């Protein structure tokens, strides 16, 4: 099975509302909350779990006030996991690094709307490299800015915390944002997936899915759980 089959499966679901193939959400544990001394164990746990994506947060200390990890780490993760590598770039000038992240093993490459003056160009470059193209939006950016581009976007990552750090509190108005985004996608007959990133837990997962979320990113909730595999299964059922 190709790494992108989970993405495609979800898209089939969206186009066949009467015959849902996969009624559950896609779970994307975020590596940021893992123990960096034990990345091999994190990958083994993920491989064994029901998670479909591995969410990999790249921060440059410029677009966000924090620095995380980059290409060499993703290269190793790629070798250790069969899951979709969902790379979230919180960096300025992401267009400079598209080919490098493809080479490192990204399946989905998400850039920030706020960091891309030529968004359509950047999305086209990502797709030309054979990756799915994602666009992330900060909590203060209105979803309506994406309407003109929605058909070109494979995944919208709605930030439900200010980007830069794991373990923050979920921003409640995200629910309304997700509903508005879902409307934009439906109106355009687009197949764009909605991903929620930040503060996702068992208290908000079901409401997010009901609002239209397809993919739930969870760092702290998964990696700080007593049983991460069971937590992934619970999030998936939400
Ligand atoms: C924040 C990152 C998130 C983060 C989520 O800038 O984009 O992916 O890892 O972590 P939690 O789930 O702990 O909020
Ligand atoms: Zn992220």
What integer pLDDT is reported at residue 23 of this predicted model?
67
For 47-95, the pLDDT digits (tens) are: 999 999 999 999 999 999 999 999 999 999 999 999 999 999 999 999 9
Phi, psi of 86 (to 5 degrees): -105, 95
- CATH code of residue 120: 3.20.20.70
* Tokens, residue 1: 């099975």
Domain of residue 160 covers 5-237
pLDDT bracket for residue 159 (50, 70, 90): very high
What integer pLDDT is reported at residue 11 of this predicted model?
44
What integer pLDDT is reported at residue 177 of this predicted model?
98
Cα(168) to centroid(ligand 2), Å: 12
Q: In 10 A of CB 67, how many CB atoms?
A: 13
Closest ligand 1 atom, residue 30 Cα = 9
What integer pLDDT is reported at residue 7 of this predicted model?
56
- CA 170 vs CA 115, 129, 136: distances in Å: 23, 33, 16
Q: What is the pLDDT of the chain when averaged over all its residues?
A: 93
102 contacts 129 by C-beta, under 8 angstroms: yes
154-176 average pLDDT score:
98
Phi, psi of 185 (to 5 degrees): -65, -45
Residue 19 has pLDDT above 60, yes or no: no
Question: Which residues lie across from 29 on neighbouring strands?
Answer: 218
C-alpha 162/C-alpha 139 separation (Å) is 6
Closest CA to 130 of 155, 151, 101, 158: 101
Residue 20 has pLDDT above 70, yes or no: no
What integer pLDDT is reported at residue 4 of this predicted model?
54
197 is an active site residue: yes
The stretches of the chain forming alpha helices (DSSP H) are 5-15, 39-48, 71-80, 98-104, 119-128, 174-187, 205-211, 220-223, 228-237
Residue 8 has pLDDT above 80, yes or no: no
What integer pLDDT is reported at residue 21 of this predicted model?
46
What integer pLDDT is reported at residue 16 of this predicted model?
38
Identify the active-site residue in 22, 57, 142, 201: 57
DSSP state of 14: H
Number of domains in the chain: 1
Positive or negative, the Cα torsion across 193, 199, 203, 204? Answer: negative
Percent of the chain with pLDDT over 90: 89
What integer pLDDT is reported at residue 10 of this predicted model?
52
Ligand 1 probe mutation, 166, 169, 222, most atoms within 8 A of CB:
166
What integer pLDDT is reported at residue 24 of this predicted model?
87
Identify the active-site residue in 86, 107, 197, 214: 197
Provide CB contacts within 8 A for 139, sequence distance 6+. 159, 160, 161, 162, 171, 173, 174
For 181-234, the pLDDT digits (tens) are: 999 999 999 999 999 999 999 999 999 999 999 999 999 999 999 999 999 999
């Amino acid at each position: 099975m190709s790494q992108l089959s989970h993405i495609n499966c979800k898209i089939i679901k969206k186009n066949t509302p009467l015959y849902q193939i996969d009624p559950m959400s896609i779970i994307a544990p975020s590596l940021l909350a893992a123990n960096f001394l034990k990345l091999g164990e994190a990958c083994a746990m993920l491989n064994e779990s029901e998670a479909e994506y591995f969410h990999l947060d790249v921060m440059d200390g410029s677009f966000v006030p924090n620095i995380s990890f980059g290409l060499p780490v993703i290269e190793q993760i790629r070798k250790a996991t069969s899951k979709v590598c969902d790379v979230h770039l919180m960096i300025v000038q992401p267009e400079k690094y598209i080919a490098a992240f493809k080479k490192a093993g990204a399946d989905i490459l998400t850039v920030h709307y706020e960091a891309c003056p030529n968004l359509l160009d950047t999305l086209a470059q990502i797709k030309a490299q054979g990756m799915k193209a994602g666009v992330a939006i900060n909590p203060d950016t209105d979803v309506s800015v994406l309407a003109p581009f929605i058909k070109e976007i494979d995944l919208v990552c709605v930030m439900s915390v200010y980007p830069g750090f794991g373990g923050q509190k979920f921003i409640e108005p995200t629910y309304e944002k997700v509903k508005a985004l879902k409307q934009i996608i439906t109106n355009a007959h687009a197949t764009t997936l909605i991903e929620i990133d930040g503060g996702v837990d068992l208290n908000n997962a079901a409401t997010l899915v009901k609002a239209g979320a397809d993919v739930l990113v969870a760092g702290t909730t998964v990696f700080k759980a007593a049983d991460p595999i069971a937590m992934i299964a619970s999030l998936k059922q939400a």
